[in-house]
Structure 1
Amino acid sequence: MPSAAERTRTLVQSTCSAAVIVPGAEGARPDQLVPQARTVGTDGAVYLLFPADAPVVRAATHAQDDELPAVLEVTDVAPVAVPHRIRGRAWVHGWLTLAPGIAEPGLMMLRLEIGEVYVDDLWGDATVGARDFAEALPDPLLEYETELLQHLAAVHDDHVQGLSGLLGHRAGVRRVVPLALDRFGLRVRCRDTAGHHFDARFDFPEPVRDIHGLRRAMHALFEAARD
Structure 2
Amino acid sequence: MAAIGPSAGERARTVLACAPTLEVEVADGAETVAVHGVQPDGALALLVPERGTLARWADGLRPWCTVRAAQVTSVPSPDRVVDRVTVRGHLCVHPDVPAGMDTLMAAASGEASDVLPVDAAVLLRVNVRGVLLGHDPVSVSEFATAACDPLATVGDVVVAHLAVDHAADVRALAALLGDPFVDRARSVTPIGIDRFGITLLARSAVAARRVRLDFPAPVRGAHEVRSAMQELYRATRAAGRG
Q: Relative contact order (alpha carbons < 8 A, sep ≥ 6): 1 or 2 greater? A: 2
Partner of 1:107: 121
In structure 2, how many angstroms separate the alpha carbons of the residues matched to 1:224 and 1:23? 54
2:132 aligns with 118
- Calculate the TM-score normalised by the size of structure 1: 0.85
Q: TM-score, normalised by structure 2?
A: 0.80
Structure 1: stretches of 5+ with no match in the other structure: none
Equivalent in the alignment of 2:34: 36
Paired residue total: 213
Q: Are the aligned partners of 2:19 and 2:70 in contact in 1 as well (CA < 8 Å)?
A: no
Q: Which residue of 1 aligns with 2:161?
A: 151
Shift of 1:156: 1.7
Choose between structure 1 and 2: higher helix proportion: 2
Distance in 2 of aligned mates of 1:147 and 1:52: 35
Q: Extract unaligned runs of 5+ from structure 2.
A: 102-117
CA distance in 2, matches of 1:43, 1:210: 22
SS at match of 1:213: helix
Structure 1 range deviating more: 71-80 or 154-163: 154-163
Give the Cα separation in 2 of the matches to 1:112 and 1:158.
Answer: 45
RMSD of equivalent CA atoms = 2.0
Query: Superposition pairs for residues 1-227 of structure 1, below 5 Å?
Result: 1-25=5-29, 33-61=31-59, 66-99=61-94, 104-120=118-134, 125-168=135-178, 169-170=180-181, 171-192=183-204, 194-226=205-237, 227=240
SS at match of 2:160: helix
Q: Retained in 2: the 8 A contact 1:24–1:59?
A: no
Q: Secondary structure at the residue paired with 2:27?
A: coil
1:15-70 deviations in whole A, cap 9, x for unaligned?
25420010132xx6xxxx11121111233310011122222212223xxx531100
